Every structure is written in C-alpha cells, then in structure tokens.
Structure 1
Amino acid sequence: MCGIAGIWRKRNPVGALDLSDIARMMQALAHRGPDDHDSWNNGRLALGHRRLTIIDPSPAAREPMLTACGQGVLVYNGEVYNYRALRQTLEAEGRVFRTASDAEVVLQALHHWGPEKAVPQFDGMFSLAYFDARNEALWLTRDRLGIKPMSVAETGERLIFASEDKALLACDGFPCNVDARELTLRLAWQSRDSSYSLFDGIERLPPAGLWKITRDGIEKRCFWHVLDVLEPARITGDISSDAEHLATLQALLEDSVGLHCIADTSIASACSSGVDSGLITALAKRFRPEIHGYVVDPKLGRSEAANAERTARHVGVNLRRVPVDKNRFLELWPRVVWHLESDGWHASQVGLLALAEQCRADGVKVLLTGEGADELFGGYLWQATSMRMWRPWSWPGRLLRSRRSLDRKFERLRYAPYRTSLANGYGRDRNMVLRALAPELNFLQMKIFERLEPVTPLADRAFLGSCLYDLYSHLQDLLHRHDRLSMAASVELRVPFLENRLIDFAIHLPRQQKYRRKTGKWLLKKVAEKHLPHQNVHAAKMGFDMSSDFTAGTQTLLHGGFLRDVMKWPASSLEDLIDLARRDEPSRLRLVGMELFLRLHVGGQKIENLTEALHTACRDAG
C-alpha cells in the first residue's frame, strides 16, 4: 500500500520543473507511504513512489522498480493477493526473481505477458503505472471495482497522475478550481466520490480502467465490467442445493481471508456487531491467531460496542474500543474532508478516521473489513424494496391489472428499475433528470436490468439488478472513503469480500440465495451461523450510524462562507438553507461538509482553524 505519482511529457524530455513537481507530489502523499520513498526518470517520464512496507520490507523491494534488463518500470499501490501463484507460473516460464515482494511479481507479469494479459489475472486491489521502454508505452490501470484510486490530468504538454487529487494540486501552476457541476451532483446525493473529482481538470481512472499512453495519445479501455462478464444463464440454470452453495461460499471465504492475511506486519480487523466484519474476524483468527479487533464507541447516541463484544468473545479475539466524543468529532471532521477531497457526507466517516488513527498508534498497519458483502449478497433494504416495485407482474398481482396497464407501467419502470433510481417520475420529468444529472450512472441501471432479461420473475430481476448497480454506485463511495481515511493514518485497509472468485460467485447467485423469507444476505448468514453468535447474525441491520448530536449547531458555519457564493444562491435563501440544515441531519452533513471542503481548498484555511470555527458555530447556535 503506497502512494504513486508520475509526469508524462508529450514531446519534450523531462526537465527540472517536472522533477520538482514529482517531489511536491510525493510530499503531498507522505501519509500514504511514510516508510520509504524514491523517484526515477528517463526521457519523457518521471515517476515517484511513497512506500508503506507490508510485504517484503527489504530495500530490494523499493519502488520505482525496474526489471533486470531496465526496460520495464513500475510504481504500484495496493496488494495482488495471488502473487505467489503468479510467481510460480512466471518461474516455470523462466522468469527469475530478486525479492519476495508482490510488486516484483506484478512487474514481471506486466513485462513478460503484457498488461492486457497480465492485469485481468491480478486478484486484489491496485492502481499502478507501468512503463514499457521497448515500445515507449505507459500503462495506467486500476483494480476491477476501484478499491485503489488514481487521479489524472492533462495540462498542456504534460499528463500527470497520482494516488490523490491533492498531489496534482501540488504541482507548480496547477489551478485549484472547483467543478460546480460536480459540486451540484454531490449536493443532489449522487454517488460520485470514487470515479469523479470535485476539481476542474482532474479525471479519476474508472474502476478496471486500462489506459495506454504513447506519443500518439491515450487509448482508454476497461478490462472488466459486470455487463461484460455477467452470464444470466448461470443464474437461471442454477440447480445447486442450498448445502452446495453453502459449502462453496464457505470455501471461497476461507481462501480469500487466508490470502488477505498475508503480510509481513501486524493485522487487525474492524469488528462491529454486524455479520460481515464479524465473519471476516472469525475466519481471520484461523490464519492469524494473534489478531485483535476494533470498534468505534460513540459517546453520544447509540453504540454497537457492547454487541461487538459479544462477537469478539465468541470468536476469541480481544476487542479495543475507540471512543469518539463531540470534541474529538469536531477535531477530526475537517481532516476527514481534507483527505476525502469531498464533503464528508456521513458522520461515520469521522469514526473510521478515529479507528484508523488508533490502529496506527497501536502499531497496526493492516486492517480487515467487511465492505462489499451487502452489495454482493443483497443486504440493503432498498434492494428488497426494488423487488417489491415489480410485484404487480407476479401472481396473483397480475390478475388485478390489465395487460395494457402492465405494459405501460413496464415501459416507465424499465428506465428506472430500482428503488434508488432518481428517475422514478413520468416522461418529461424523468428524462430531464437523466439528461441533467449523471447519465453515465442512470443509464447503467437500465443496461443492467436489460442484461438480466432471462431472469424471472421481474421482481427477482430487479433485486439482482439493484445489487449489481450498487457495485458502481453505493460501493464506490464506500471504497473511496475507506481508502482515503485509512491511508490518512498510514493504514492499509483490506476487503476480503471483493476477491475475484467471490465476486464472480456472488453476481451469479439466484435471488433466493440472497433474499429469502424477508431475510437479506440469506446465504451469507447461513455461513455466519457457523461462526458467530446467533443473536448478532439475525439482529436487525443497524449500519454504522453516529448521533446527529455530534453535528448539531454546526449549520451556522454557513454564514459568511464560500458555499453560497460558489452555488450562486441568492442571499435571501441562505437562512432557509441554514434552517433546513438545523432540522435535517443529512442536509446538515452535506452542506456543512461542502462548506468545509471549500474553505480548505478554495479559501486555503487550516484544519485546526476549521475545528475552532465548528466549535464557535456550535456555541453560536446555543
């Protein structure tokens, strides 16, 4: 897990300005790799790397890493967990290794097989830049679901790229301009963080992006997309018994957790009271007997720490509570926004940063979490609600409606088939939403629904489609949040549910294996029953919420701020917006969070000054 940076010159060779910018970018990414750093340049390319040592801490594994012939160069962020199997294959084909690192396996695979063959074989989380001097080609790529980030910008004669936007902003003369359209989309509650930047001129490499850059320009493609790999016939033709599915999922999870426990450093888990992180903790205990868990323990509102203790006792791990009171919350909130490079729209994000900082203070570099299970196995309420939207076509509901009425309703719903669809209105209103907001995501809903056409009944098709769509919407925000906030404390966060074989297995499960008898994640919970307390497995889903009292009063920060000016809201509307933020916590988090973002990046204010401003706002609110 590291930070990477690079500058590609379109014509002229790399010069002093480029090397200075690489140094500035690496400094901006110091939190991602505090253990080591180095740089490399040759001709039109300069590369920088910040290292967080996880696998093979020896100096020989330092990056940028070159092949023995000097014709291949790599900077790499992440972990490819099947690197040992890939290494055996490469050695059988005559490749010789100098280190025990996964980075060298990645480099050798790219150089020996070529990126188009090698990258789809990587099982893990990664973003990387690989330069092949044999044909003067630079390759940029990112893992299939976008767990690890990469930001890119073209500036005249240069293409610059790095792990975070702030590294690009550190380059000499790079303008720090906010994209008003993106800001509007965030305020409209769009899931945007992983794939889109709030800064004008910065592009995020999409999940599974595979870009080839040469003197002729940029060739953009993706090596994986759920629309390309989804086989509806596997779903409709599934004849496996519950017991067979259960055994398969158990084996896949054990294999994935075992791979995710490979590290030459200490490992812990985020162990909440829920099924997902609890199951990961229980399985990880088999591979790392010394593992311990962490849970955030808010001092306002509800805490899940007591229920998490039940899981910890059951699986035999020590659980460390991470307390968060209001003072700690207001201290961390501006830091959250700084590292997210967005508005920090969910109060739980502060809890995650507090947890990551405690890990680092305890000397823990790797943290396992349960992200991805709800999307893959059907754990969200809105997925079940999407299914209910399509029940009029099921017996006996279809007997109560005419064929003509059902056809009209189908034509309307097929363009907005899920509960989370923004365009659930009629005709003209729906089309305005699709055109004006985020067409690339909104039309993806329809494409997934159409791809699942062989699946019946329509309610099952909608449920499965909603799960798949969440991989590109809700999950993207979660992955962005987890990468940025764990790396803010120099901690690598691993997500064992998002392993290649598990993804393939889950996207081809029938609805009955995901949602049965009003129970979401049905199959996953059957596995969990073998490892976790029954009470925790079947408790109502709570999510990781934090009390609205943590942010109460902060809405007065909107007085005299930047948000109204950027959005060009009339002054007369400001009091109404502040009143809305006072009454409605989601609006308060969005509006105040965006104000913090603008004060940090447009106003140049310091994090500690914004913490004091939040305290003042709370006092002014009475």
Structure 2
Amino acid sequence: MCGIAGIFHADPERRVDPETLVAMAAIQYHRGPDGFGYRVQQDRGVGFSHARLSIIDLDENRGRQPFVMPDNSIMTAVNGELYDYKRIRADLTLRGVQFRTKSDSEMVMHLYRRVGLEDAIPHFRGEFAISLYDREHDRLVLIRDRFGVKPLYFTEANGAFVFGSELKVLFAHPDVPRRFSDTGLFHQLMQTIVPGTTAFEGVHQVKPGHMVIVERAHGKLKVRQEKYWDMDFPLAAERPEHDDTDEEYWIEGVREHLMEAVQLRLEADVPVACYLSGGIDSCITLGLAAASQQSPVKAFTIGFDDVAYDETAIAREMAESVGADQDIMTLQADHLYDNLVETLWHTERSIYNTLGVAKLLMSRHVNEAGYKVVVTGEGSDELFAGYPAFRRDMFLHGLDTLPPAERASWEQLLAESNKLFSGAMLAENELDDPALTRLVGFTPSCLQPWLAAADHVPGLLAPGRRAALAGYAPGAAIAGALDAEMLEGRHPLDKAQYVWIKTMLEGQILTWGGDRVDMANSMEARPPFLDHHLAEFAAQLPPSMRIKGRTEKYVLREAMKGLLPRVLYEREKFAFMAPPAHTDPKKWAAMKALADQYLSTEAIEAAGLLDPEGVARLFELHEAEDTPVATQVQLDAVINHMISVQVLHEHFVAADIPRMARRKAEALGWRP
C-alpha cells in the first residue's frame, strides 16, 4: 500500500525532471513513509516515483519501487495489495521467471511480459492502482481495481501526461493548472460527482474496472480509457424462474466466497487488525478473522457522544463473543469540526458529514497503536442490498405483484425505518429526474437526496459561474457517465445497486470515508466484501435472496447466522454516520466558527466560487423556525459542502503546491 506518481512526455526526447518526481512522491509521504524510489528513462521521456508503506517484504532496499526489468523493457509502480500472489509467483517461478523480491507487486511486470495485458489483468485480485511502461510498444498503462478502492488520477499539461495517487501529486508538477471547473464545483456542492471526474479543470480519475492506455503519435499523446470489468448483473429474462428455491446453494456460496476473501486479506508481514462498528458487516469480518487465526484479533471501534448514532454497545458484544481485544475511541461531536480542514487536505473533495473526520481520527489512533493494516466491512451493503434506498426501490419498482396486505406492511416499514437519515440517505420527498428515469426506468433513491440538494446550488454560485451553468442538469451528467448496457433489461434492484456502486460507493464511501482518510495516517484498509470473486457470485443472487420480505441482506445473515450474536442477526441496517451539526449545540457552534472563517464575505470574494448573498440566504433557511428537520439535515450537508469548497480552494488553488512538495522532499531528505 503506497503512493505512485509518473510523467510521460509527448516528446520522447524531452527530459523528465527527477526533482519533480521526488517532490511528487514527497507530497504523498503519508501514503508511504517507509521509503521512496524513482526511475527515469530519459531516452524515452518517462519517469515513475513511489512512496512506500511496507506491508509485504519489509526489506527497505529489496522492496523499493519502481520495479524495472533488467533489460529496461518494462517499468512498474504499484499501489495496493494483490492477493493470491504466492500461487502466481510459484507458477511463474516454475516457468523460469526469476524474482528479486518477496513483494506481491513485482509479479505485475513478469505476468505482463509472459501473458500480455489482457490475460494478466484477470489475475490481479485485490485493491490496486498500477502504472506500467512498456518500452517495446512505447506505451503507458494505468490500471485501477474493479471497485475503485485505490485512487488514481491523471491529466495532460504542456505536452506531458501526469498521473498520481492523489490530486496533490499532480499539482506538485509545476505545469499542471489548479482551478475549479464550473461543473466540478457544482457537483462538489451537491455531493454526488459525475463518475470519472474531479472538482478541477482537466483532471480525471481512472474509472473503477478500467485501464488508461497512453501512446505517442507524431509528437502528440493518444489517451484512451477501456473497461476490463464491471458489476454484471444477469438480464432479468435470463434468471431462472425459480432460482430462489434452493436457498442453501446461495447461502453456502456466500459463506465460501466470503471466508476465502477474508483469509486472503489477513496475509501480511505485519499485524492485521479490524475496524468494528455495530453493523453486521464489520462484525462478520471480525468474526471470520478471529476464526481464521489463533491469536486474538485487535478490533478498533469509533464511539460518538450522541446515543442516537453510537454503536459501541453492540460492537462490544461482538468483540466479547469472539474474544477480540477491543479498543474504543469515543469522539465528541464538536471536536470533529476542529479537524475538518486537515481532513479536506486528504479527501481532496467536499464531504457532507463529519464521518470522514471521525475516520481520519480513528486511523491516526490505529497508527499510534502500532498497526498498519485493518480489514473492514465496506462493500457488503452494495452486494447484498443493505441500504434503505435499495429497500425503497425494491418496493416501488420491483414488487408489482405484492398482495394488498403485504404491500401495506412494506409501506409501514418504509415509513418507520431509518427516520434518522431522511434528508441525507433518503430524500424528504420523492424526486424524478428525467434523464435518469429514461436510463434506469426510475430515479434511483440513492441519488434523490443529492439531486434535491442540487436545487440550492445555482443560488450559491458566484454570478459568473452561475451564468456559465445556466440550464445545467446534474442528473443528466451523471446518467451520461453510466453504462446503459449494464442497466438495460436488469431487475430494478440490480439497477439500483449498480447506480449506487458507480456513484456513492466509489465517489464517497471508498474516498472520503475510506482510502483517503485511512492513508492520511499510513494505514491500509482491506475490504473483503469487495473481492471480485465474491462480487461476481453476489451479482447472480436472486433479488429475494438479498431482500426477503422485510429483511435486507437476507442471504448474508443466513450465511453468517452462526457467527453473529442474536441482536446483530435480527437488527435492521443502521448506516454508520456522524451526527449532523444541527443535532448538537456545541457541534453547531463549532461549524459556525468554521463558517465565520471560510464563508465570510471577504473569504468568498477572494476565492470567487460562491455568492455571499446566496450563502446568507441558505443559513437563514436553515435557521427558520418552520424549516422541517429533514430539510435541516439536507442543509447541514450543503453547509459542509460550502465550507469544503472554500477550504479546497485554500489548499489546492491558493497554495503553491509545487514549492510545498519540494520543501517536503527536502525536509524528508528525499533527493534524486
């Protein structure tokens, strides 16, 4: 688990500056504090650098990246973990390949050379961002894991293709411009971004399950992005009519695939701990980890001082049931805003809830306790339909034949459950977006609260940006980035899950709720539920095995029934979130203090992003006595977004990132 960076010039005779490469590694020191490396091929105008977090093969010199073939034909820099690598290494060794390290990452270039790009990728199992330069074909290849657990960004600037694990890595290159795009700003203020985009002009993400191939032709760069994997649900017409009758087949399949995924993610040359909340997903992960090793598992839990959001009691019961060594860190609501500015330096995008801050503080706590690796529960709700939005879509669009009595039961359930998240995870009122409805057949419930929040955005924008975005339809932009072929002919529940995976999972849960705040403190999080072997099996599950009657994640509960305490087995989904600001006077005061600093008229006018009058009107609406609670929850999110974009401007536009990166390299003693 590390940070990668690189430069690929359109002109192969143009020199790559080693100091810039080292600075690009240094600015992401938090991702890899255990050492750095860089390689250049000056006769080809290409160079890579790498900041290393040593987890497998701890030898500082032997595991140093980038890796280069002895004949210079292939160069690689890899971030992440590739599981099942021992079997692949053994097979390649039997075929005459000589490895120089014990690292899982070294196998990438050997496998690529032996079988080629397309045949190598299916063997890459895990969470990864891979960069590879093929000298023979004079091409650069970037590959991102199937769900986007690991980040990977790229841009073109002044005849150079620049890439890295974080936006600040690209901005450390002196030729890369740093400015908000109009549409990027719009989506930062409404939370849901267009897949593949960022807040900044000309800066893109490698999409999950995609590779970017860069070649040179006549002094210019040719860049194309190709999909190699997707969450491919079967066509509704192809599902067997009675494929939900053999429950034991599905239960046993989930059990087998998940056990293997967890056991693979316990492989490391350092101790592996667990994140543990009160939800069944992290409890399952802990339970399987505890069953797979003899020594007690270390379990880290976040507690909140708001009883409506605190899950420590249930987490403690699970830890005791498997003999785990539990460490509980309780956070004060108002303390979260004290760390928001630092958190945004790492998330590099706006956040609607201070959960990201809580996760950053937890990863720091884990790091200080001496751990570099944890296994987590992310991805379970995506595979097994655990979120309230899925239940709503299942009821509204996937249960047309329900008898009246059962339909009434569902309506009562939807009205009663998850009231805590109305305005955030669920829209206050049903919303229909024409473009998404045309594409999906309905507007997925997961996007509705953020599309509702988008109604506030035009009034918040600076006049020039508002004019440039006149008539802009954010739902149409999101719909345009989704693959229509993967939605056509699928069951409504499959469609809802697919849209969530492409938007909320990659753009939020795995970003500001995952990698970015974990790696801020050099801590690697491994999500076994996002193992693609398990995911491919889960895609085949009948809808009724995911949501059965009033029970969400039915097949997972049954598969893990013997592992879970009864209170967890029977518990409804409770999304892990930090308390909204308006729920606590101290937290509201802390948020207002930040707003006074970053949303003052002077600060707003200096950044040129927002309209001070629009900002003032939104606060007035939030504080009006007749504003419904659900609307306040939504406006809490918008206020967080407004503060966020102002902080992001300070971090990445106003600051001199190239100079900052070079100073960081000097302070670390990292030199070419």
**TM-score bracket relative to the smaller structure:** 0.7 to 0.9
Contact 2:303–2:329 (CA<8 Å) still a contact in 1? Answer: yes
Residue type at the aligned position of 1:293? A
Q: In structure 1, how many angstroms separate the alpha carbons of the residues matched to 2:615 and 2:97?
A: 65
Q: CA 1:2/1:423 → structure 2, altered by over 3 Å: closer, same or farther?
A: closer
How far residue 104 of structure 1 moved from its aligned partner, in angstroms, is: 1.4
Counterpart-to-counterpart distance in 2, 1:422 and 1:298: 28
C-alpha contact (below 8 Å) 2:191/2:351 kept by paired residues: no
Aligned residue identity for 2:474: L
Partner of 1:29: 28
Partner of 2:261: 256
**Residues of 2 paired with 1:61 and 1:473: CA distance?**
35
Structure 1 pair 602/132, CA: closer, same or farther in 2 (3 Å)?
closer
Separation in 2, partners of 1:283, 1:440 = 41
* 2:588 partner amino acid: A
Counterpart Cα distance in 1 of 2:94 and 2:495: 42
Counterpart contact for 1:54–1:263, Cα < 8 Å: yes
Tell me which residue corresponds to 1:143: 145
1:552 aligns with 2:578: no
Residue aligned with 1:488, SS: helix
**Quick one: structure 1 residues 180 and 144, their matched pair in 2 at CA, closer, same or farther if it must change by over 3 Å?**
same
Distance in 1 of aligned mates of 2:171 and 2:320: 47
**Contact map agreement 1:269 1:369 (CA 8 A) in 2:** yes
Q: Equivalent of 1:528, from 560, 583, 586?
A: 560
SS of 1:96 mapped into structure 2: coil
Assess if the C-alpha contact under 8 Å between 1:580 and 1:588 holds in 2: no
- In the alignment, which residue of structure 1 is the partner of 2:2? 2
1:236 aligns with 2:243: no
Q: Any idea what the Cα deviations from partners look like across 1:212-256, whole Å, max 9, x if unmatched? A: 2222222321111235x7455663363661112111111111111
What do the CA deviations read for 1:325-376 (whole angstroms, capped 9, x no partner)?
2564233211111100011222111111111001100110001110011011
Rounded to whole Å, the distance in 2 between the matches of 1:172 and 1:449 is 40
Deviations 1:574-619 (A, max 9, x none): 321223455542233222233322333334499xxxxxxxxxxxxx
Conservation of the 8 A alpha-carbon contact between 1:416 and 1:424: no
For residue 490 of structure 1, the aligned residue among 517, 522, 525 is 522
Question: Does residue 1:478 correspond to 2:509, yes or no?
Answer: yes
Of the three residues 454, 458, 473, the one matched with 1:436 is 473
Cα distance, 1:218–1:538 mapped onto 2, change above 3 Å: same
Q: Distance in 2 between matches of 1:590 and 1:390?
A: 32
Structure number with greater CO (CA < 8 Å, separation at least 6) is 2
- Residue aligned with 2:226, SS: strand
Map 1:289-300 → 2, pairs under 5 A: 289-300=295-306
Q: Specify whether residues 242 and 66 from structure 1 end up closer, same or farther in structure 2 by C-alpha distance, changes over 3 A only.
A: same
Q: Give the one of 447, 452, 455 matched to 2:489.
A: 452
Q: Within the alignment, does 1:512 sit opposite 2:536 as a pair?
A: no
Q: How does 1:186-225 map to 2 (within 5 A)?
A: 186-192=188-194, 195-216=196-217, 217-225=222-230
Single out whichever of 277-286 and 415-424 deviates more from structure 2.
415-424
Q: 1:469 aligns with which of 499, 513, 531?
A: 499
C-alpha separation in 2, matches of 1:243 and 1:260: 26
Measured in 2, the distance between the counterparts of 1:85 and 1:519 equals: 39
Alignment partner, residue 384 of structure 2:
377
Q: Is the 1:83–1:106 Cα contact (8 Å) retained in structure 2? A: no
Report the equivalent of 1:101. 103
What is the alpha-carbon distance in structure 2 between the residues aligned to residue 393 and residue 445 of structure 1?
26
Structure 2 Cα separation of the partners of residues 13 and 85 of structure 1? 40
C-alpha contact (below 8 Å) 1:271/1:369 kept by paired residues: yes
Question: Take 1:131 and 1:355, find their aligned partners in 2: how far apart are those partners?
Answer: 37
Aligned partner of residue 212 in structure 2, secondary structure: strand
CA positional deviation for 1:566:
5.7
Task: Determine if the alignment matches structure 1 residue 358 to structure 2 residue 365.
Answer: yes
Name the stretch that deviates more: 437-446 or 93-102.
437-446
Q: What RMSD in Å do the two structures reach over aligned CA positions? A: 2.9
| 1:125-166 CA distance string (max 9 Å, x none) | 111111112222211111111111111110121111110000
- 1:595 lines up with 2:646 in the alignment: yes
* 1:15 equivalent in structure 2: 15
Q: CA deviation at 1:443?
A: 4.8
Query: Does the 8 Å CA contact 2:154/2:205 hold for their aligned counterparts?
Result: yes
- For the residue of structure 2 that corresponds to 1:602, the secondary structure is helix
Give matches, 1:389-404, under 5 Å.
389-390=396-397, 393-394=400-401
* 2:444 alignment partner in structure 1: 418
Choose 330-339 or 587-596, whichever is displaced more. Answer: 587-596
Counterpart Cα distance in 1 of 2:72 and 2:279: 49
CA contact (8 A) 2:385 2:546 kept: yes
Q: Residue 196 of structure 1: SS of its match in structure 2?
A: coil
Post-superposition offset of 1:569: 5.2
Q: Distance in 2 between matches of 1:45 and 1:529?
A: 53
Contact 1:417 1:445 in 2 (8 A): no
Cα deviations across residues 474-533 of structure 1 (Å, max 9, x unaligned)?
111111121111000000110000111101011111011000121110011112321111
Per-residue deviation at 1:565?
Answer: 6.7
Matches within 5 A, 1:303-342: 303-326=310-333, 328-342=335-349
Equivalent pair of 2:393/2:492 in contact (CA under 8 Å): yes
Structure 2: 5+ residue stretches without partners: 405-433, 456-468, 624-631, 658-672
Map of 1:400 onto structure 2: none
Partner Cα separation in structure 2 for residue 568 and residue 4 of structure 1: 31
Structure 1, unpaired ranges of 5+: 398-407, 454-460, 607-622
Q: Taking structure 1 as the reference length, what is the TM-score of the superposition? A: 0.87
Q: Where does 1:77-88 land on structure 2 (aligned, <5 Å)?
A: 77-88=79-90
Give the percent of matched residue pairs that are identical in Structure 1 and Structure 2. 24
Query: What is the letter of the counterpart of residue 60 of structure 1?
Result: R
Q: Aligned in 2, Cα 1:563/1:183: closer, same or farther, shift over 3 Å?
A: farther
> Are residues 422 and 326 of structure 1, via their aligned partners in 2, closer, same or farther at CA, if it must alter by over 3 Å?
closer
Paired residue type of 1:560: T
CA contact (8 A) 1:280 1:368 kept: yes
- Separation in structure 2 between the aligned mates of residue 82 and residue 511 of structure 1, nearest angstrom: 31
**Distance of 2:444 and 2:437 partners within structure 1:** 14
Residue 262 of structure 1 aligns to a residue whose secondary structure is coil
Q: 1:41: which partner in 2?
A: 40
Q: CA separation of 1:163/1:111 partners in 2, compared to 1, >3 Å: closer, same or farther?
A: same
| Alignment match, 2:52 | 51
Task: Indicate which of 534, 540, 565 corresponds to 2:572.
Answer: 540
Distance in 1, Cα, partners of 2:609 & 2:516: 30
- Report the CA distance shift for 1:561/1:511 in structure 2 as closer, same or farther (over 3 A): farther
**Aligned equivalents of 1:285, 1:395: Cα separation in 2:** 42
